[in-house]
């Protein structure tokens, strides 16, 4: 089934509305939402970057002559003492996502702000969220990768995400138009894809600047100790959810710095669908995606010339690949209201299985791991079905 713009936007809006309505009806006591603990051996540090690309205007607000984005770096830390845990979202974004009176207290993460980086050069993985969602959407996956020794860089796509907060408290909200025809939807998606690829490539340029001793942050905020030596940019990959998965594929097609890519349940489009890729790629789909085969996956699969893998998480729904799967049940939303988008799989178990397979993929292709999980059914993880694999 092709994931359209309208379907995804309705899903995100509908989940948020369902959570608020359920909370008002039950009038529960305040509840602190919690993300699962990372499973890797390292503590996690994090820092954000305000990046300004003066070479292009904002695609959604053309009067803005430069493109501004926020990126966040998650990395293995040598120590976290004296460095507070980061909030899941910034205060300005939280004010938009949680209206006054909401009983849910958004989580803090397991990443510690500004902690020094663990010595060594670490493989780098970029992340792009689903349409209309913030860079924090899959924090449970992101910080787990960091705890396993990867540097993970999440990207906020300004004026497409619901809210992006910049240093100083300025918040930019979504400016993408609502499509009224299929042709208009295609134009919006094409604009979003091109913007995401450009954002990704500019972020890669910014990471390269850091390795050369520069500081790309527009506010010149200090970088964590050891960050300059932390990136092994010869071992760089990308993953994303929904439209972010499509962006990972197209960005790989346009930029050979990306050595491996992973798509979490997103229909693909753009030139990559017909041109294919010659580097490793993983399609990780929900059961709802597998029940109605996505023609874009079928076409892309036939044109993947490098190692290729397709797996399916049984019992999952399209939004099982975001933190919603653990946070919304904690907030008291009835399971029957969540099932159409989150499936029937337990959220904590879903996160655990995804973490294992996402890490196995990037470990295989960025750190020369064995990758057996990608091609052989596992008794430990029967929820993950191997659909097809080569390489």
Amino acid 2: pLDDT: 47
Closest CA to 358 of 323, 384, 391, 326: 384
Amino acid 28: pLDDT: 58
Amino acid 27: pLDDT: 56
Q: Judge whether 265 and 318 are in contact, CB under 8 Å.
A: yes
Element (H, E) at 262: strand 260-264
Closest CA to 201 of 190, 191, 212, 209: 209
Query: Which domains, ranges and CATH numbers included, belong to the chain?
Result: 5-390 (3.40.50.1820)
Q: Judge whether 238 and 252 are in contact, CB under 8 Å.
A: yes
Q: Judge whether 189 and 267 are in contact, CB under 8 Å.
A: no
The predicted-structure confidence for 23-65, as pLDDT tens digits, reads as follows: 444 555 788 999 999 999 999 999 999 999 999 999 999 999 9
**Long-range CB pairs of 97-102, under 8 A, 24+ apart, other chains included:** 97/16, 97/162, 97/163, 99/20, 101/24, 102/20, 102/23
The predicted-structure confidence for 270-319, as pLDDT tens digits, reads as follows: 999 999 999 999 999 999 766 778 999 999 999 999 999 999 999 999 99
pTM equals 0.93
Closest CA to 161 of 243, 98, 101: 243
Q: How far apart are CA 327 and CA 8, in angstroms?
A: 19
Query: Nearest 10 degrees: CA dihedral of 123, 74, 321, 336?
Result: 160
Element (H, E) at 68: strand 67-77
Sorted by sequence, the CB contacts under 8 Å of residue 279 that are 6+ apart come out as 252, 258, 259, 260, 261, 306, 365
Amino acid 254: pLDDT: 98
Which ranges of the chain does DSSP label H, i.e. alpha helix? 5-26, 91-97, 139-147, 182-211, 243-254, 272-275, 287-291, 295-301, 324-330, 335-342, 347-367
Q: Which residue has the tokens 């799967």?
A: 325
Q: Judge whether 242 and 132 are in contact, CB under 8 Å.
A: no
The DSSP code sequence of 9-39 is HHHHHHHHHHHHHHHHHH-PPPEE--PPPP-
How many residues appear in the chain? Answer: 391
Residues of the chain with pLDDT under 50: 1-2, 4-11, 13-15, 18, 21-25
The predicted-structure confidence for 257-271, as pLDDT tens digits, reads as follows: 999 999 999 999 999
- b/e code 349-358 from CB counts within 10 Å (16+ = b): ebbbbbbbbb
Angle at 106 between CA 105 and CA 108, to 5 degrees: 120
């Amino acid at each position: 089934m092709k994931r359209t713009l309208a379907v995804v936007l309705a899903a995100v809006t509908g989940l948020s509305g369902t959570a608020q309505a359920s909370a008002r009806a039950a009038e529960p006591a305040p509840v602190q939402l919690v993300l699962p603990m990372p499973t890797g051996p390292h503590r996690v540090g994090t820092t954000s970057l305000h990046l300004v690309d003066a070479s292009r205007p904002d695609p959604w607000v053309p009067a803005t002559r430069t493109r501004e984005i926020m990126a966040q770096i998650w990395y293995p830390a040598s120590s976290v003492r004296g460095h507070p845990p980061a909030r899941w979202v910034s205060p300005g974004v939280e004010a938009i996502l949680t209206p006054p009176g909401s009983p849910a207290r958004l989580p803090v993460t397991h990443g510690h702000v500004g902690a020094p980086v663990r010595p060594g050069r670490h493989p780098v993985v970029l992340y792009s969220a689903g349409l209309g969602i913030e860079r924090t959407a899959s924090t449970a996956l992101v910080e787990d990768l960091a705890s396993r020794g990867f540097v993970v860089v999440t990207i906020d796509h300004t004026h497409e995400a619901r809210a992006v907060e910049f240093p100083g408290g300025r918040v930019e909200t979504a400016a993408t138009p609502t499509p009224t025809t299929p042709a208009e939807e295609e134009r919006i998606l094409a604009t979003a894809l091109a913007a995401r690829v450009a954002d990704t490539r500019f972020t890669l340029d910014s990471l390269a600047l850091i390795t050369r001793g520069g500081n790309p942050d527009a506010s010149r905020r200090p970088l964590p100790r050891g960050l300059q030596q932390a990136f092994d940019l010869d071992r760089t990959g990308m993953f994303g959810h929904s439209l972010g998965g499509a962006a990972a594929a197209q960005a790989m097609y346009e930029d050979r710095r990306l050595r491996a890519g992973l798509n979490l349940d997103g229909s693909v489009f753009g030139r990559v669908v017909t041109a294919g890729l010659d580097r490793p790629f993983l399609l990780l789909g929900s059961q709802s995606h597998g029940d109605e085969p996505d023609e874009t996956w079928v076409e892309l699969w036939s044109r993947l010339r490098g190692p290729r893998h397709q797996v399916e998480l049984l019992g999952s729904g399209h939004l099982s690949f975001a933190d919603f799967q653990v946070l919304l049940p904690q907030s008291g939303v009835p399971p029957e209201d969540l099932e159409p988008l989150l499936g029937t799989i337990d959220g904590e178990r879903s996160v655990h299985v995804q973490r294992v397979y996402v890490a196995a993929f990037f470990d295989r292709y960025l750190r020369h791991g064995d990758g057996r999980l990608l091609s052989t059914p596992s008794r430990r993880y029967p929820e993950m079905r191997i659909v097809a694999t080569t390489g």
